[in-house]
Amino acid sequence: MNGKERYIAGLKKYHKHLEKVILDEYALTVKYINVMAWGYTTTALYVETDHGNYTARLSVFSDEKLEMIKKDIGISHKLHNILPTAEHIRNKDGQYYTLFENKILRLSKHIEGATAFEMDMEQYIKVIEILKKIHKAGILHGDLTPSNLLAITSTPTPL
């Protein structure tokens, strides 16, 4: 077996394992699963089931990453009536994420035609539109420019 064949065999084996985790944790039988996007610590996968299509996000576990995911899910739920945000699915324990094998898995209903990156960008654009309206109403102080926005990592970083 050459390197490519070993890689594909390993990927198929891992997908089967992930299908079992999704069945055990979310009671969903996977018909098809495929990688949509890779990131440094998170992979997005498209998942087809008999009960609809989902986006699975599989992240490397760390306490910091788990807290970020919990915060993101909370913000998504608060903004759901204002912005098109991911509709997260609860697992058998009522949580919006599942921990297994040093990984964090979360499922949300799939938004057809959009990659995970495009879904995120659409949300950011809508947030900026809302911020512009708030600024026009005189609620937001200062001009809305990239230099006035901060990205929070471990320290605030101007965009």
Question: Does residue 129 lie within any of the structural domains?
Answer: no
Residue 145 has pLDDT above 50, yes or no: yes
The confidence score (pLDDT) of residue 30 equals 96
Contacts of residue 92, Cβ cutoff 8 Å, sequence gap at least 6: 24, 25, 26, 27
Specify the CATH number for the domain of residue 11.
3.30.200.20
- Is the Cβ–Cβ distance between 44 and 111 less than 8 Å? no
- What average pLDDT does range 68-89 have in this prediction? 85
Residue 148 has pLDDT above 70, yes or no: no
Question: Does residue 57 lie within any of the structural domains?
Answer: yes
Question: Does residue 104 lie within any of the structural domains?
Answer: yes
Question: Does residue 143 lie within any of the structural domains?
Answer: no
Which range among 20-29, 55-64, 134-143 shows the weakest confidence by mean pLDDT? Answer: 134-143
Query: How many structural domains compose the chain?
Result: 1
Question: Does residue 140 lie within any of the structural domains?
Answer: no
- The Cα–Cα gap between 141 and 129 comes to 16
Give residue 36's domain range.
3-113
- What average pLDDT does range 27-43 have in this prediction? 89
The confidence score (pLDDT) of residue 159 equals 45
DSSP class of residue 55 equals E
Question: Does residue 156 lie within any of the structural domains?
Answer: no
Is the pLDDT higher at 93 or at 86? 93
Residue 56 has pLDDT above 50, yes or no: yes
The confidence score (pLDDT) of residue 140 equals 58
- The Cα–Cα gap between 72 and 138 comes to 28
Question: Does residue 123 lie within any of the structural domains?
Answer: no
Question: Does residue 158 lie within any of the structural domains?
Answer: no
Residue 61 has pLDDT above 90, yes or no: yes
SS3 per-residue string spanning 64-122: HHHHHHHHHHHHHHHHCCCCCCCCECCCCCCCCCEEECCEEEEEEECCCCCCHHHHHHH
The confidence score (pLDDT) of residue 146 equals 55
- What average pLDDT does range 24-51 have in this prediction? 91
Number of neighbours of residue 129 by Cβ within 10 angstroms: 11
Strand partners, 30: 49
The confidence score (pLDDT) of residue 142 equals 59
- The Cα–Cα gap between 153 and 155 comes to 5
